[in-house]
Chains A and B, each alone.
Chain A
Amino acid sequence: MIGGLFIYNHKGEVLISRVYRDDIGRNAVDAFRVNVIHARQQVRSPVTNIARTSFFHIKRSNIWLAAVTKQNVNAAMVFEFLYKMCDVMSAYFGKISEENIKNNFVLIYELLDEILDFGYPQNSETGALKTFITQQGIKGQTKEEQSQITSQVTGQIGWRREGIKYRRNELFLDVLESVNLLMSPQGQVLSAHVSGRVVMKSYLSGMPECKFGMNDKIVIDKQGKGGTTDDPKKTSGKQSIAIDDCTFHQCVRLSKFDSERSISFIPPDGEYELMRYRTTKDIILPFRVIPLVREVGRTKLEVKVVIKSNFKPSLLAQKIEVRIPTPLNTSGVQVICMKGKAKYKASENAIVWKIKRMAGMKESQISAEIELLPTNDKKKWARPPISMNFEVPFAPSGLKVRYLKVFESKLNYSDHDVIKWVRYIGRSGIYETRC
């Protein structure tokens, strides 16, 4: 299991050091600094073995988090734990920065004592942790409160405490998708997928039982078969999507999903990620990028890029940014664009073209002339792909929320009393077109 956990600043100074196992000595702290943080060549793996000791590291801005072990630990678990550790810290004190860590080091030690015991991760749900790790002591708690805390921390529903009350029962569902594309210069889709998340903010009283439904092809098809009275046209009219795979927050009953494909759960209080999913079929690609790069002699490049929006004209895409890479030996750039603003950023070796808003089924174009310095470099310019960023108000996968039902038998509110909000946001993931 995890033998120790260290946090360093960018210089390699230790901010937090907690050792859980006897086989990890103080020299491990230095070994990581010398061999990884100060390494002459950047380390090429997140797992490093130094003198039969394994180091797992992740970086958050300029902070290094490293877990150390001498055993054959579950590597995936260690990384998951490190991410979780970051989530917990962020939930307590915001951004993970050197200043924040120094300011909260006592709290961090307290958390580390709680969520990692002898190197075994324990309950790390912030909701539960916040009930008893407060740094204010727990003197005032009554016996009932104490046992409530412990039963929550260890219980089946470790993510939610009992007795939550809201005057207004409300929930927000965000379907957040990032659409990824790799397209050849000729416009052929090399790979495309959507990775989506359903994020829920729940402000519900009691221990509500929820059921979430979406236009999952498997479910829809099954219902279509079952209900004979349904008009076949009607069911086929319903657009359904094929989900390649999905994963759920631990509150979702996985065995039920496995057998009935229904998503039922008791939600945590506040914001959390209900599910993640991935689709690859019938993706709506919101933009199409058509590049044209022409080399005019050895010292000049002509670039023309057309973007086309491909969604309902009534919808508006926002925060559109096209990034056209330029060679390292660029000496000057002249840009003309029909819409938005374009600038050559020498430090980033790219022309950045920004458009605030663009409606569906429109087209826009940029052309640029790039002057090059003559070089002796034999190696050809690698032509990195043109990348794009945007945000659209729909789900490129086609996912639709069909329902989210709330049942709370003990309290006197019903599904109809709950105010529900649903929002769809599609963002660009890695959206690249080779040129």
Chain B
Amino acid sequence: MEWASQLCENRGLGSKMTDSKYFTTTKKGEIFELKAELNSDKKEKKKEAVKKVIASMTVGKDVSALFPDVVNCMQTDNLELKKLVYLYLMNYAKSQPDMAIMAVNTFVKDCEDPNPLIRALAVRTMGCIRVDKITEYLCEPLRKCLKDEDPYVRKTAAVCVAKLHDINAQLVEDQGFLDTLKDLISDSNPMVVANAVAALSEIAESHPNSNLLDLNPQTINKLLTALNECTEWGQIFILDCLANYMPRDDRESQSICERVTPRLSHANSAVVLSAVKVLMKFMEMLPKDLDYYGTLLKKLAPPLVTLLSAEPELQYVALRNINLIVQKRPEILKHEMKVFFVKYNDPIYVKLEKLDIMIRLASQANIAQVLAELKEYATEVDVDFVRKAVRAIGRCAIKVEQSAERCVSTLLDLIQTKVNYVVQEAIVVIKDIFRKYPNKYESVIATLCENLDSLDEPEARAAMIWIVGEYAERIDNADELLESFLEGFHDESTQVQLQLLTAIVKLFLKKPTETQELVQQVLSLATQDSDNPDLRDRGYIYWRLLSTDPVAAKEVVLAEKPLISEETDLIEPTLLEELICHIGTLASVYHKPPSAFVEGSRGVQHKRLPARAGSIEYVYPMYSSHQQRAALATAVYLVHLQPQHFYLQPLATSVDISKICSFCHYTSCINSPGLAATTCYFSGSYVNIFSNCKVLEIPSIIPLISSAFIHWKHFIHFSFLYQPGGRTEVQSPQPSSDYSERELGGDIGGSPSMGAGLGAAPAAMPASLGGAPAVGGGLGDLFDLGGGVGMPTGSYVAPKTAWLLAMKAKGLEISGTFARRGGIIQMDLSLTNKAMSVMTDFAIQFNRNSFGLAPAGPMQVLTPLSPNQTIDVSLPLSMSGPVMKMEPLNNLQVAVKNNIDVFYFSCQYPLSLLFVEDGKMDRQVFLATWKDIPNDNEAQFQIKDIHLNSDVASNKLQGSNIFTIAKRTVEGQDMLYQSVKLTNGIWVLAEMRIQTGNPNYTEMELSIKCRAPEVCQFVYQCYELVLKN
């Protein structure tokens, strides 16, 4: 009684009674006391005891020992007590599955209760008890509740199906609950519809291909009707579900849009954002010349602006989304710049996001206002915000040419403040301004040089060094300045070292007489004293360039740089499209696809915008900076699909140097790290073209191509191709930062006319460099490893193919190929980090396979792989691993581990990998063996469309260790007898017939005999591969 009166008091205004006392019991023997109280006869005492138990549970104490006692209190008609017991049950049932059974009866009974609130409570709670044994008993009550007369029970039961599915998906399917759930979409009550939609959407997410939701015009109509009537939350469920629908045509798309637009006036921001998502998605399908399209665009702006008057957390979500919307459809908010002005009291996360959007919206029309604002922000307190504001000023200069001058003078004002981080940030952006507007603002260099000493951040130091190197001829004491950096060369970060190297080489080329010593010093620091392969490589290249052809060196190093693009840090278009489909959700807040942060099967499905009719564009000739990314992404995709067709035809078969030059130029213009990573793959495949189309016979193009590839580390592959017989281990050079990549690419890749004559080369150069002892030795070490092994064409190496996709491996993407180089089997891998965090601790393992392939050593990934970076690794393989026959024979299952997880994939290696160098059989032995192998083991194959004569063919095959033993010509046919030996000692014999009479040599016939006939098929594949490439 006392308790009851307290309760009533509690409900009054001045709550004197406190439930908080339950939080304070910490004495020992508490559990024992509680047990006694729980078993008390007095109802109130019981209830009080259960409350104490729940309070203990909340603060994290283990009260599972009281399970039987608490469950005993379940049979009560006191709803409050019942709810408390249920709460306990949900928490502990999993740890006490056997005892949880005790609760089943009560649930079953409660599901029959006349009071709908109790029925719903029972069905709601039992779904939360994740005990397998119980779930079976719950099917019947659930089935009844799904058809309950009361909508409150039905809406609860609908969610319960999703719960049950999470515990035991099979059971839900077997029991036919999914169909019942689908029926509920036609329910008369809007809330039942909404919950059924939510449950179905969730279940469908874990069955990507089930077509569970089966959205068709009829169901869509039902959903749109329910949309007008259900709660705000229900509207969100329905809108999010609608967004997954693909309308059949633009008319349907328009009619859905028309019915969704009223939601833009809803007070709930989530309803508004979900409606925006549906509209943004379906708009794709509307023809742009349609009046309605324009109307819709206009309707979108006001609600988006209104979101900015919501609470700060919602503003943040809205701003992250607006950032996406502005990138996708800049026209929507182009007149709304003012609303993104930062308020003094905005939380920092809102400020930073607003700033981002301001830059995106900056245009000639509003630049004056924007600049005034940015200048204001640059004097604020928060360091991050100030930095971003300074950077923004630079970006405005690059984006809006008319404002460049004002921006530069603003930046100079800021440098005068002498606030350290402001100065550094300003210098970094001024460097970009120089690149965008060459020969315009160099007058400010003097001011910049004054601040040299205060720069302590690598990025600012590197920027300053770049400026000094680039304008060395205008800075009287450039050599002194650069020399001062050189003193602590080895303490600098890689970024600064690389920049310093390039800057000094530039300086040397501009003022050769005074700076010989300096350039030798830096070259030897970079090549001899550094253990950074990137730096070393670049050092060697400069050295070699300078020593062999100073004219070319000047042409390459001091080439005109491509202008940098206006828009940096745009989201890559395919990702942007996916994120637009996720407006309002976490993905849109993180700007990452769901697969990057959601575990398991959920969210792995990539969503795409509907295609606009007739928008297929030809990808190759797009050179404008904005479209580069799209073009390249598509190109990479095409390379995957049709390697021969895409790149060989338009570019390389014609051996059109100018085209290749422009390609090199084009790839080196890329100044976004993300894009460079994509290109990396692309250029990797590209190397093979050069080897095929004999571009290499034209010496003048070599430095040009190499310079284009250098920042993707393919240079070494390349030089291998250039020097027949030469071979080098590709020991995964450490990737440089994106900054230096772009600099170097820009510096030496942008020279399209190599052959053009050049003025007098500095006479002193060759002599001085020739005198440097390391030149020959250093380069010799690098290139002359193989020492002329007899490989006329080299064994064929297939282009890398994607083995592991980023979306399946938490952002790690692996592509690779296999190669046999001078008897050593290598697995060439490209690891790309497409996630947002750094990856480290790589390791690799193979499953047992048919030939016992195993890594000969650990995978050498020495540096952490930062986001958007690609690293190439060559893994030497041995044949000493455990053997197990695989299906197909050449299948290899690989596990790659990094700090995030372990990933598995399988790939197939060409059998030619296993063809050993001493596979040439004696003629006599060949004859004997041929007869010895039963005819059943002989397999016949045809190889079509080969335009090779027998000599070329046998030469080619020999490169892959397929040896021709004898040749004879019979009736216009060349017959080649060939042998192959596998690493495990198996001999494969072959007879190849080539029509000599036919000038096109279109067909070859091949008979293969082997004691292990299952090998034949794969040997044939190797033939085909080698001959066709």
B202 touches A22 (CB 8 A): no
Q: Is B163 engaged at the interface, CB distance under 8 Å to the other chain? A: yes
A79 touches B273 (CB 8 A): no
Q: Encode contact with B along A42-57: 1 for CB under 8 Å, 0 otherwise.
A: 0011110100101011
Q: Is A72 engaged at the interface, CB distance under 8 Å to the other chain? A: yes
Q: How far is the CA of A380 from the CA of B386 in the complex (A)?
A: 13
Q: Which residues 292-314 of A sit at the B interface, judged by CB distance below 8 A? A: none
Q: A113-B83, A143-B114 are in contact. Are A123 and B151 (CB under 8 A)?
A: no
A124 touches B233 (CB 8 A): yes
Residue with the greatest number of chain B CB neighbours at <10 A, chosen from A79, A139, A276: A79
Q: Return A187 CB to nearest CB of chain B, in Å.
A: 14
B117 touches A149 (CB 8 A): yes
User: Considering only CB atoms, which chain A residue lies closest to B121 in the complex?
Assistant: A113
B589 touches A17 (CB 8 A): no
A74 touches B274 (CB 8 A): yes
Q: Is A250 engaged at the interface, CB distance under 8 Å to the other chain? A: yes
Q: Is A319 engaged at the interface, CB distance under 8 Å to the other chain? A: no
A76 touches B59 (CB 8 A): no
The B interface, classified by DSSP as helix, strand, loop or mixed, is helix
Q: Encode contact with B along A240-283: 1 for CB under 8 Å, 0 otherwise.
A: 00001111111001110110000000000000010110100000
Q: Is B942 engaged at the interface, CB distance under 8 Å to the other chain? A: no
Among B16-24, B134-142, B486-494, which stretch is in contact with chain A? B16-24
A54 touches B586 (CB 8 A): yes
A103 touches B19 (CB 8 A): yes
Chain B residue numbers with a CB within 8 Å of A93 are 15
User: Considering only CB atoms, which chain B residue lies closest to A432 in the complex?
Assistant: B344
A73 touches B267 (CB 8 A): no
Q: Return B511 CB to nearest CB of chain A, in Å.
A: 36
Chain B residue numbers with a CB within 8 Å of A103 are 10, 15, 17-20
Q: How far is the CA of A153 from the CA of B166 in the complex (A)?
A: 26
Q: How far is the CA of A253 from the CA of B189 in the complex (A)?
A: 17
Q: How far is the CA of A135 from the CA of B3 in the complex (A)?
A: 13
Q: A74-B585, A254-B266, A382-B379 are in contact. Are A118 and B314 (CB under 8 A)?
A: no
Q: How many residues of A contact B (CB 8 A)?
A: 108
A105 touches B19 (CB 8 A): yes
A74 touches B7 (CB 8 A): no
Q: How far is the CA of A158 from the CA of B269 in the complex (A)?
A: 19
B316 touches A47 (CB 8 A): yes
Q: Is B251 engaged at the interface, CB distance under 8 Å to the other chain? A: no
Q: How far is the CA of A257 from the CA of B17 in the complex (A)?
A: 48
Q: Return B610 CB to nearest CB of chain A, in Å.
A: 20
Q: Is B528 engaged at the interface, CB distance under 8 Å to the other chain? A: no
B380 touches A79 (CB 8 A): no
Q: A47-B589, A135-B11, A154-B151 are in contact. Are A118 and B313 (CB under 8 A)?
A: no
User: Considering only CB atoms, which chain B residue lies closest to A105 in the complex?
Assistant: B19
Q: A22-B166, A120-B237, A254-B263 are in contact. Are A136 and B7 (CB under 8 A)?
A: yes
Q: Return A109 CB to nearest CB of chain B, in Å.
A: 6
Q: Is B599 engaged at the interface, CB distance under 8 Å to the other chain? A: yes
Q: Which residues 1-56 of A sit at the B interface, judged by CB distance below 8 A? A: 1, 13-17, 19-23, 26, 29, 44-47, 49, 52, 54, 56
Q: Return B256 CB to nearest CB of chain A, in Å.
A: 14
Q: How far is the CA of A230 from the CA of B372 in the complex (A)?
A: 48
A190 touches B20 (CB 8 A): no
B265 touches A246 (CB 8 A): yes
Q: How far is the CA of A118 from the CA of B269 in the complex (A)?
A: 22
A76 touches B233 (CB 8 A): no
Chain A residue numbers with a CB within 8 Å of B597 are 49, 52, 54, 72
Q: A103-B18, A257-B262 are in contact. Are A74 and B341 (CB under 8 A)?
A: no
Chain A residue numbers with a CB within 8 Å of B312 are 46
Q: Is A327 engaged at the interface, CB distance under 8 Å to the other chain? A: no
Chain B residue numbers with a CB within 8 Å of A253 are 228
Q: How far is the CA of A22 from the CA of B128 in the complex (A)?
A: 9
Q: Is B704 engaged at the interface, CB distance under 8 Å to the other chain? A: no
Q: Which residues 86-111 of A sit at the B interface, judged by CB distance below 8 A? A: 93, 99-100, 102-106, 109-110
Q: How far is the CA of A410 from the CA of B58 in the complex (A)?
A: 50
Chain B residue numbers with a CB within 8 Å of A232 are none
Chain B residue numbers with a CB within 8 Å of A195 are 309
Q: How far is the CA of A195 from the CA of B307 in the complex (A)?
A: 11
A247 touches B341 (CB 8 A): no
Q: How many residues of B contact A (CB 8 A)?
A: 120
Chain B residue numbers with a CB within 8 Å of A149 are 117, 152
B313 touches A56 (CB 8 A): yes
Q: List 19 A-B contacts (CB under 8 A).
A: A1-B202, A14-B59, A15-B23, A17-B58, A20-B128, A49-B597, A52-B597, A56-B313, A80-B268, A123-B191, A150-B153, A154-B151, A182-B343, A245-B265, A245-B306, A250-B268, A255-B262, A278-B302, A382-B380
A190 touches B306 (CB 8 A): no
Known: A135-B80, A155-B191; 7 extra A-B contacts, CB below 8 A, are: A73-B586, A77-B274, A109-B87, A118-B127, A136-B11, A155-B151, A182-B343
Q: How far is the CA of A109 from the CA of B599 in the complex (A)?
A: 29
Q: How far is the CA of A68 from the CA of B60 in the complex (A)?
A: 17
A150 touches B313 (CB 8 A): no
Q: A14-B60, A45-B349, A254-B265 are in contact. Are A244 and B20 (CB under 8 A)?
A: no
Chain A residue numbers with a CB within 8 Å of B303 are 245, 247
Q: How far is the CA of A104 from the CA of B712 in the complex (A)?
A: 63
Q: Return A44 CB to nearest CB of chain B, in Å.
A: 5
Q: A45-B316, A71-B602, A156-B190 are in contact. Are A258 and B418 (CB under 8 A)?
A: no
Chain B residue numbers with a CB within 8 Å of A124 are 231, 233
The A interface, classified by DSSP as helix, strand, loop or mixed, is mixed
Q: Is A383 engaged at the interface, CB distance under 8 Å to the other chain? A: yes
Q: How far is the CA of A258 from the CA of B303 in the complex (A)?
A: 13
Q: Encode contact with A along B588-615: 1 for CB under 8 Å, 0 otherwise.
A: 1110001001110011000000000000
**Which listed residue, B162, B302, B317, touches A118 by the CB 8 Å rule?**
B162
Q: Return A253 CB to nearest CB of chain B, in Å.
A: 8
Q: How far is the CA of A258 from the CA of B47 in the complex (A)?
A: 52
Q: A72-B582, A73-B586, A137-B80 are in contact. Are A147 and B116 (CB under 8 A)?
A: yes
Chain A residue numbers with a CB within 8 Å of B117 are 132, 138, 146, 149-150
Nearest 3 CB-CB pairings of A with B: A102-B20, A245-B302, A150-B152
Q: Is A334 engaged at the interface, CB distance under 8 Å to the other chain? A: no
B60 touches A190 (CB 8 A): no
Chain B residue numbers with a CB within 8 Å of A21 are 166
Q: Is A167 engaged at the interface, CB distance under 8 Å to the other chain? A: no
**Which listed residue, A77, A117, A278, touches B305 by the CB 8 Å rule?**
A278
Q: How far is the CA of A224 from the CA of B157 in the complex (A)?
A: 53
**Which listed residue, B150, B376, B417, touches A378 by the CB 8 Å rule?**
B417
Q: How far is the CA of A189 from the CA of B228 in the complex (A)?
A: 40
User: Considering only CB atoms, which chain A residue lies closest to B167 in the complex?
Assistant: A22
B590 touches A52 (CB 8 A): no
B309 touches A80 (CB 8 A): no
Q: Return B22 CB to nearest CB of chain A, in Å.
A: 8
A44 touches B349 (CB 8 A): yes
Q: How far is the CA of A69 from the CA of B202 in the complex (A)?
A: 14
Residue with the greatest number of chain A CB neighbours at <10 A, chosen from B231, B344, B597: B231
Chain B residue numbers with a CB within 8 Å of A258 are 261-262, 265
Q: Return B50 CB to nearest CB of chain A, in Å.
A: 9
A247 touches B272 (CB 8 A): yes
Chain B residue numbers with a CB within 8 Å of A247 are 265-267, 272, 303, 306
Chain B residue numbers with a CB within 8 Å of A387 are 344
Q: Is A83 engaged at the interface, CB distance under 8 Å to the other chain? A: yes
Q: Is A151 engaged at the interface, CB distance under 8 Å to the other chain? A: yes
Residue with the greatest number of chain A CB neighbours at <10 A, chosen from B15, B80, B263, B312: B80
Q: How far is the CA of A20 from the CA of B228 in the complex (A)?
A: 28
Residue with the greatest number of chain B CB neighbours at <10 A, chosen from A57, A154, A273: A154
Q: Is B479 engaged at the interface, CB distance under 8 Å to the other chain? A: no
Q: Is A62 engaged at the interface, CB distance under 8 Å to the other chain? A: no
Q: Is A379 engaged at the interface, CB distance under 8 Å to the other chain? A: yes
B19 touches A117 (CB 8 A): no
User: Considering only CB atoms, which chain B residue lies closest to A190 in the complex?
Assistant: B341
Q: Is B124 engaged at the interface, CB distance under 8 Å to the other chain? A: yes
A72 touches B77 (CB 8 A): no
Q: Is B692 engaged at the interface, CB distance under 8 Å to the other chain? A: no
